[in-house]
Amino acid sequence: MDIRVDLTPGRPASPERPASAGRPGEAYAVSAEFYDLLHARAYHRHALALAAPAAAARIGIVEAGAGTGLVTGVLIGASIVPVHAVEPAAAMRAVLLSRLHPPAGGPAGDRVTVHACSALDLSLGGMAGLADLAVCLRMVPCLPPEERRRLWQALAALLVPGGLLFLDRPPSRLPAHPVHRGLGQVRLGIDTYGGQLTRCAEDGLIRYDYSYVVCRAGRILRRARETFLLWPLTREALGTELAAAGLVLEEDLAPNLLRARRVD
């Protein structure tokens, strides 16, 4: 993305805010403000693909890592069953709750419950078998391998036999060199919000640097940045992990959207 700005004349731009420190509950403390503005398009295709599985659910739906609710609204609107939106990050959960109240779609919103915990904590809370559909988007690569394997066990426990799990395809390898991608620009009033993602390899992991900028009349008002580390995972390794938890990887539902089924 190319943002052309003129810093003169006028006051200098505010210093860039650093990435969150990674303490529990502080993830997305920077990105939450910009999430719906600059990331919504990335969810659109997956959200549309999940409408039919949500409509077919007959017991309940669990969305692990609900974020700001970009997919949650589709799951609620397409279904007739209880929806459990699980989001441990306080900043994202604040946007999610604002989106759901007043209830999304009127009375349909009465079916959604927001859980301020991880999916693992939800399964340990005596809620096993509460769903026949689980959704986990843009979350799995951010988990260390041991925590990721525990997530599969937790989701399998939440699903009834035959229940479905949908997740996006994790990156399978490290980038050979830094990759830059613009997140687009959105204008609100006299301000323009923009962002850029830089992906690079770092100590066997994939480093995602999100840089955000707010401009007014050609000047940068402020910058913000947040960094995430992702663990690469091949489809074969993913299938092995899922199978160990009693989940069988099936065919893709849509490009980069995987489906697994809970076996007896």
Written as six digits, the tokens of 25 are 């509950």
Q: How far is CA 19 from CA 117, 160, 209, in A?
A: 22, 39, 9
pLDDT digits (tens, 9 = 90+) for 122-131: 877 788 899 9
pLDDT digits (tens, 9 = 90+) for 224-236: 999 999 999 999 9
Q: Which has more confidence, 253 or 261?
A: 261
pLDDT digits (tens, 9 = 90+) for 146-184: 999 999 999 999 999 999 999 999 999 999 999 999 999
Q: What is the pLDDT of residue 254?
A: 75
Q: How far is CA 200 from CA 139, 175, 197, 203, 230, in A?
A: 18, 6, 10, 10, 10
**Listed residue (230, 219, 214) closest to 37, CA to CA:** 214
Written as six digits, the tokens of 48 are 């549309």
Q: Which has more confidence, 241 or 46?
A: 241
Q: How confident is the model at residue 7 (pLDDT cuts 50, 70, 90)?
A: very low
Share of the chain above pLDDT 90, in %: 75
Q: What is the pLDDT of residue 251?
A: 80
**Half-sphere exposure (Cβ direction) of 182: Cα atoms closer than 13 Å:** 8
